[in-house]
Structure 1
Amino acid sequence: MPSYRSGSSRSTRRTATAVGMLLSVLALLLTLPGTATAAPDDGPAPAEPAQRGNAWMGMTVPGHEGGRGPDRTPPGLAASVEGVDVSSHQGNVDWNGLWGSGVRWAYVKATEGTYYRNDYFSQQYGGSYNVGMIRGAYHFANPKDSGGAAQANFFVDHGGGWSKDGKTLPGVLDIEYNPYDGNDCYDMSASAMVNWIRDFTNTYKARTGRDAVIYTTTSWWTACTGNNGGFGATNPLWIARYASAPGGLPAGWGFHTFWQYTSTGPIVGDHNVFNGAYDRLQALANG
């Protein structure tokens, strides 16, 4: 019995020594440059909090409605015109390249809230015009920041106006999921949101003579306006849905005017189609 215990003890000591040496080697390896350890598979790292001013059209759509959409124009769009929307994230845009790829219209972010103007607006807005595109400007709404009328005035004063030159589309109110603090509806009730949107669109109409296009998703509109049907008779709809079809539309609209179908595409920007032939796009520009 004593000799058995002694052998067991020696065996235990040898095992402990081997384990200790192995742990020492592992510790040394971890200190070497370029040595990495596998991280637990917890999914992608959380996105950095959005900073005011850096939002863009469709920024919130993939996370709420699934995916980025197809990489090319979905089939079955016999009468349509390809377009893009861009913001400061695209920087100086290769408009000649986009024209060569078949893009014929563009919307450029001009403003956000009453605190932000796109530093690249001149190159993007003027460059798309100079290459021959019909173009317009859009405003990223932040209803939590200030009133609808104040934001409409800020938009018109800083690039969101309209002129009857055959090349300028009416301005767009981009109203989507809240990318900043608070809930998706900017901590507003459905009735308060409807009033905010009405203040914006009425002010825009008074300033420019045109009804603003409303960019949104059916899900957001249903949740945050109570699926209000009061804008379909006046304001063209730009629906965002990253899929093979626009899907069901918000109340009040019998058809869409624009459809943002993907957040990826050739060259740059989100890609969209105008729902109609080119002469109808020209008619929208002419008012």
Structure 2
Amino acid sequence: MSRKWIPVLVASTLAVNLLGTPPAAGAATSPDGGGRAIAGGTPAVRQSAVSALASPPAGYTIQGIDVSSHDHNLGPINWAGVVAEGNKFVYIKATEGNDYLNPFFNGDYTAAKAAGLFVGAYHFARPDGRDPVGEANYFIDNMRWAKDSRTLVPMLDFEWPYWAGAPTCYGLTPAELTNWVRVFTDQVKARIGRPMMIYTNTNFWNPCTNSDASFGGLLLDIAGYTTSRPPLPAGWATETIWQYAPGDPSQPGNYSKNVLKGDYASLTRLTSPEVSIAPPGPRMPRRPIAPKLR
């Protein structure tokens, strides 16, 4: 994010208008695309003053961040510094599709826990591959789910495709997309015994799922880079996490900023020490998917 001194009101308007807009055909790929959890935010939004919000929104006291491989552009993450800034939790990108593992995931996972953070893994969904069971199994096999009271429920990053020329809603119908999400999340629950969280943006979820309201029983991480909480997708009455500002991997320590709705005890309830991982179920045939920029 470039520290441009533009009025927050203008920045908020930009965020509302642009966040969640699908990439235009032939448009340049976002420099931090490749599955970074930014809910399809465009470079224009990422460079607004909204990104510069340093303090959590009013009423939220538990802070956290999310990171991916792009947050290593300037070197290792200073996890002690992350804790010193008041953060209590982090979500780290683990996988994308059924063949990409973030090369920094294992190191970040270990270091973040050693620093005292609650740690969760997220998977960037590739429904265009039409293999929800395979993706779920790949994620589970690599996400290091642990019965240690420090591991957060896993998260599905479900947002606009990030590559140039990508079809709207991955080229799938609302019914196909909602079925993909249902199969993926059901498979995760079947294997770890715990419902997962969905990270999305209302401007993606509602048009691409035809405002499907049947997922409200799952936890929600809502992305909205505005000064007040954005409208929630169809089906959800409340959020668990709000990602209120994106980070900028070209600046040291500038990570995507999150807040938890609730107190510290609410955060501990997002762990699940009493369950274990079941073996994978049958794998659905898959077809090749577009190359990834990670």
TM norm structure 2? 0.75
- Aligned-pair distance for 1:268? 3.3
- Aligned to 1:182, the other structure's residue is in SS state coil
Aligned match of 2:228: 245
Residue 277 (structure 1) aligned to one of 235, 249, 263: 263
What amino acid is aligned across from residue 195 of structure 1 in structure 2?
A: N
Within 2, Cα distance between the matches of 1:175 and 1:239? 11
Tell me which protein shows more helix as a share of its residues: 1
Cα displacement (A) at 1:70: 4.2
Which of 81, 84, 102 is the matching residue for 2:65? 84
Task: Tell me if structure 1 keeps the 8 A contact 2:113–2:150.
Answer: yes
Paired residue for 1:19? none
1:103-140 Cα deviation digits (max 9, x unpaired): 11000000000121001012211111000000110000
| Structure 1, gaps ≥5 residues long | 1-45
Aligned 8 A contact 1:144 1:187 in 2: yes
Q: Partner of 2:100 in structure 1?
A: 116
Q: Please give the residue correspondences for 1:204-215 in structure 2 after superposition, counting only pairs within 5 Å.
A: 204-215=188-199
* Largest Rg, 1 or 2: 1
In structure 2, the residue matched to 1:144 is 128
SS at match of 1:238: strand
Structure 1 vs Structure 2: percent identity of aligned residues? 35
- Please identify, of 85-94 and 54-63, the stretch whose mean Cα deviation from structure 2 is larger: 54-63
Rounded Cα–Cα distance in structure 1 between residues aligned with 2:223 and 2:208:
16
- Offset of 1:284 from its aligned partner? 1.4
In structure 2, distance between residues paired with 1:186 and 1:89: 23
Question: Secondary structure in 1 aligned to 2:170?
Answer: coil
TM-score by length of 1: 0.77
Q: For each residue in 1:173-204, what CA deviation from the matched residue of structure 2 results, as whole angstroms up to 9, or x when unmatched? A: 00001112432300011010000000100000
Note the aligned Cα RMSD (angstroms): 2.4
The answer on whether the counterparts of 1:240 and 1:260 sit within 8 Å (CA) in structure 2 is yes
How far did residue 241 of structure 1 move?
A: 0.1
1:28-50 residue CA offsets vs partner (Å, 9 max, x unmatched) = xxxxxxxxxxxxxxxxxx97446
Q: CA deviation at 1:64?
A: 8.8
Task: Work out the CA distance in 2 between the residues paired with 1:217 and 1:151.
Answer: 21
| Structure 2 CA distance for aligned equivalents of residues 212 and 108 of structure 1 | 15
Q: Which residue of 1 aligns with 2:212?
A: 228
- Contact 1:174/1:214 (CA < 8 Å) preserved in 2? yes
Q: 2:239 aligns with which of 244, 248, 256?
A: 256
- The one-letter amino acid of 2:225's match is Y
Distance 2:216 2:168 in 1: 22
| Contact 2:56–2:63 (Cα < 8 Å) also in 1 | no
Amino acid at match of 1:84: I
Counterpart secondary structure, 2:129: coil
Measured in 1, the distance between the counterparts of 2:241 and 2:44 equals 20
Aligned residue in 1 for 2:253: 267
* Structure 1 residue 186 corresponds to structure 2 residue 167: no
The match for 1:37 is none
Is 1:57 aligned to residue 37 of structure 2? yes
Question: Residue 35 of structure 2 aligns to which amino acid in structure 1?
Answer: A
Give the drift of 1:162: 2.6
**Structure 2 regions of 5+ residues with no counterpart?**
1-25, 274-294
